[in-house]
Structure 1
Amino acid sequence: MSKLVLTSCLQKCSSLNTVKKSHAKIFVCGLQNDNNILNQIAIFYVQFKKLDTARLVFEYISNPSSYLWNILIREYATQGNFRQSLALYAKMMQNGFKPDKFAFPFALKSCAGLANLQIGKLVHQHLVCCGCDYDVFVNAALVNMYAKCGNVEDARVVFDKMSVRDLVSWTSMISGYAQNGYNSETLSFFYLMRDLGVKPNRVSVLSALLACGNLGASRKGEWFHSYVIHTGFESDVLVATAVMDMYAKCGSLDLAHKLFDQTEGKDVVCWSAMIASYGFHGQGRTAIDLFDNMVKAGVGPNDITFTCILSACSHSGLLEEGKRYFEAMKGFGIVPKLNNYSCMVDLLGRAGQVSEAEKLIENMPMEPDASLWGSLLGACRIYDGKK
């Protein structure tokens, strides 16, 4: 089979099986070192979601096409393998390939996913040098990266310089403000976006509801609840959960529970939020009842649910119940995470069992963080380290 015939066959590949057959034929034809054919083979593997195989082929290509570099960086980022995406981006630079407007958004997405501001700033320098700092999609990714890394000031600088701002840019700024505690700015930006005719999406609505809850702004929260109903977001379980959580944070726990009861298709996030709400208001027994009802309803708890119930037990002084739920995690196949251990240390510390809390820390399979040590030190101050 000639190179021309094989190339023609590659263009007609419509399934993974035909790609594999064509891949095998390149060895038979002695074309295993042909850059153009290997590029096509690797691209097909990416299209058929065989990223590992595509990467193996890629490593044998002496001169990969810019398109192949870009789609590999994109696919790793899209699949959440941010480290591999950035490793490939770095290799692209080292090999003398110039990134373009198609590579930068996904390199920045990976920086955002890893919350790596240092590398994010480096990518920012690269894209300026490459003349891509005026591309709307690159700038939207920049805003998102800075916001996700907690640097809302630089995100705002990039946003203000944009001549065209799309929904992604607006949403990145709004969610960035919300996630970093700039609650008033979150709401101001939401109103401004809406007034300029940009239709809010799910993420921006969730961010606004979070800000209302954090501010305890019940009047504004009621407006957003009305907005959710009129725009059809009410059927979204995550948005319904955010409305419920907002009312609970504003002190309207009964209304929050009423909305919880009305929500159809309640998932583990919805149940966990309601459990957390009762725990926050010191109603540990009600939180426990809700947890048990969730299990009876066939909704399996996760580590976040256990963080909520353990926190509820801690705030209500329910030591034995908290111990029981911590042990119950194993029965659900859940390995306790740092937050779960932190709740248990807080629970034991509040109950005066400082020695047991210290022993728990010593036997943890991970390194304790500053907040966990803070909980233990707080208990030591209260009980003078005698228990």
Structure 2
Amino acid sequence: MPTCGTPSSAPTPTPTPPSRPTPPQRTRSSSIKRMRAAGVAPDCYTYPIVLPACAAAGAPRLGRAAHGDAVRFALAGDGFVHSALIAMYCQEGEVADAEQVFLTAAAGARTVVSWTAMVAGYAQNCLFGQAVAVFGTMVAQGMLPNEITLISFLPCLQGQECLAAGEMVHGFVVKLGFDANLPLVNALIAMYGKCGSIASAKELFDGMAARTVVSRNTMVAMYEQNGDGVRAIKLFHRMLSEKVGFDTVTLVSVLSASARTGALETGKWVHELARSRGLDTGARIGNVLVDMYAKCGEIACARQAFEGLREPGVVSWSAMISAYANHGEPEEALSLFSAMKDQGIKPNSFTLTAVLVACGHSGLVDEGLAIFNSIVTDYHISPTLGRAGRLVEAYEIIRGMSMQPDKCIWGAFLGGCRLHGNLELAEFVAKDLFQSGSNDVTFYVLMANMYFEAGMLEDAERTRRTMKEMELKKTAGHSLVCTSRERRAIMR
């Protein structure tokens, strides 16, 4: 097997793909133009076909024109047209417009399909709080959810605080007789995993009369996401021994589990398995390969996996830049960042954060500040400047940001205050954060540690007592190092 699980020969040039037929969604979206030109009046069956096609084809102006036509022909109140409008706007990211359509509809137009479209739209746009609120209103108004509603809603429940709501939804599933629906059971397993109830997820999985690849993928991902990479890998081995099929999703979860457990040899074996099926040059597998090798300390193999990608996107570039930054190779990180921009790929928040980490580790203060100032104008990120020691300047830049600084920004800043012993500035910032209602455990832990290191034991105890009263707990981090004979866990 090659060292990094990939062939050493140069990649074969990608052949020119044949011309592709016009996608069906574009044909459907253009058909509304021909209907209008021919003077043919649409009906309530037209828009549930045309509106999704407009969203899929990336034609928002045509979608709005179709909405106007639906209003003109008095069809916007139809239940299916109404839900199709909501889905179209949500798919385009125009959630406010979807809300307007939903709220201004007549009571009779709000069918279970419309409610489901609104719940699914919030979920697709990661507005989980709004999805939970709408679902609660739906149930309170006596509208029973259907299977699609529940499948759309379950991904919104994440964290132990959502477990009770998840159990309520599970009750709905049983009560409504949906417990034989495989996609719904898979969604329940995933929900229990994200809410930290591994036992409930396993009980559901073990009780399934029939299990699909998706069911097993859900369990593998659940173990990995809950920090139990060993079980995730064992389940994958069982899948292979039982001659159960696997797919890209399976390999992504197993590679992530290998990275989490420091199981480099397992990661190489999975890499070879992916390569044997021609999956290693795709973005999904390739990105996680870069991450796995980097976390296992094999930066050269990470670069080899990156170079083998057919079309590295912004996630691929960000992962490789981050790998260099975290392994103390800032020059390589900045060189790759420059190459990325030269290729016309627009960086995202993760790319830029990695670049700033590289600047911070190497003491490149001016470069970091120059990048930061340009980002404030052009991008939205969560950067770090505290390592360089210019804390007051960093604080002023953060306060002047056009975006609202999030907990990542303030956490990094407080970490910089601790690194450089600036307790006074840290207290000033922390007091403002606590008064604004922030209860992130990281802020409290940082302040307690700073008080302890400064010999201010009473203040440290007061801070920890506040954490206990608020039931804030910090999850211990850990690193796993594989030797030839054993795997050692290092808690930190």
Q: TM-score, normalised by structure 1?
A: 0.77
Q: Distance in 1 between matches of 2:80 and 2:396?
A: 58
**Aligned counterpart, 2:379:** 334
Count of equivalent residues: 362
Matched, 1:39 2:85: no
**Aligned counterpart, 1:207:** 253
Does structure 1 retain, via aligned residues, the 8 Å contact 2:102–2:118?
no
- RMSD over aligned CA atoms reads 3.8
2:287 is matched with which residue: 234, 241, 263?
A: 241
Give CA deviations for 1:10-32 in whole Å, capped at 9, x if unaligned.
457765688866754559xxxx9
2:134 is matched with which residue: 83, 88, 91?
A: 88
The 3-state SS of whatever aligns with 1:103 is helix
1:379 is matched with which residue: 395, 419, 428?
A: 419
**Aligned counterpart, 1:105:** 151
Does structure 1 retain, via aligned residues, the 8 Å contact 2:87–2:118?
no
Does structure 1 retain, via aligned residues, the 8 Å contact 2:87–2:121?
no
Does structure 2 retain, via aligned residues, the 8 Å contact 1:70–1:102?
yes
1:366 is matched with which residue: 396, 405, 422?
A: 405
- Structure 1 counterpart of 2:385, one-letter code: M
Q: Distance in 2 between matches of 1:296 and 1:378?
A: 37
Q: Distance in 2 between matches of 1:112 and 1:124?
A: 15
- Structure 2 counterpart of 1:174, one-letter code: V
Q: Structure 1 residues 15 and 134 mapped into 2: Cα distance closer, same or farther (>3 Å)?
A: closer
The 3-state SS of whatever aligns with 2:280 is helix
Give CA deviations for 1:11-65 in whole Å, capped at 9, x if unaligned.
57765688866754559xxxx9xxxx73354255467668839944873034754
Q: Distance in 2 between matches of 1:295 and 1:282?
A: 22
Q: Distance in 1 between matches of 2:160 and 2:126?
A: 10
The 3-state SS of whatever aligns with 1:234 is coil
Q: Distance in 1 between matches of 2:73 and 2:217?
A: 48
Give CA deviations for 1:125-181 in whole Å, capped at 9, x if unaligned.
333443434432221111122223444443333323333222333222222322332
Q: Structure 1 residues 66 and 384 mapped into 2: Cα distance closer, same or farther (>3 Å)?
A: closer
Does structure 2 retain, via aligned residues, the 8 Å contact 1:82–1:113?
no
Does structure 2 retain, via aligned residues, the 8 Å contact 1:112–1:120?
no
1:169 is matched with which residue: 212, 215, 222?
A: 215
Q: Structure 1 residues 80 and 167 mapped into 2: Cα distance closer, same or farther (>3 Å)?
A: farther
Superposed displacement of residue 112, structure 1: 4.7
Superposed displacement of residue 264, structure 1: 2.7
Matched, 1:250 2:299: no
Give CA deviations for 1:83-114 in whole Å, capped at 9, x if unaligned.
45433322221121222333211121333599
Matched, 1:178 2:195: no
* Larger helix proportion of the pair: 1
Does structure 2 retain, via aligned residues, the 8 Å contact 1:310–1:344?
yes
If asked which structure has higher relative contact order (CA below 8 Å, sep 6+), I would say: 2
Superposed displacement of residue 209, structure 1: 1.3
Give CA deviations for 1:329-387 in whole Å, capped at 9, x if unaligned.
246x113x3x31xx222x23xxx445545555666643546743651353145x8879x
> For 1:213-362, what aligned pairs fall within 5 Å after superposition?
213-330=259-376, 333-335=378-380, 337=381, 339-340=382-383, 343-345=384-386, 347-348=387-388, 352-356=389-393
- Structure 1 counterpart of 2:256, one-letter code: L
- Structure 1 counterpart of 2:379, one-letter code: I
- Structure 2 counterpart of 1:366, one-letter code: P
Q: Structure 1 residues 26 and 265 mapped into 2: Cα distance closer, same or farther (>3 Å)?
A: closer
Superposed displacement of residue 307, structure 1: 1.0
Gaps of 5+ in 1: 1-7
Q: TM-score, normalised by structure 2?
A: 0.63
Q: Distance in 1 between matches of 2:413 and 2:200?
A: 33
> For 1:63-212, what aligned pairs fall within 5 Å after superposition?
64-78=110-124, 80-112=126-158, 116-212=162-258
Superposed displacement of residue 193, structure 1: 2.9
**Aligned counterpart, 2:444:** none
Aligned sequence identity (%): 26
**Aligned counterpart, 2:445:** none
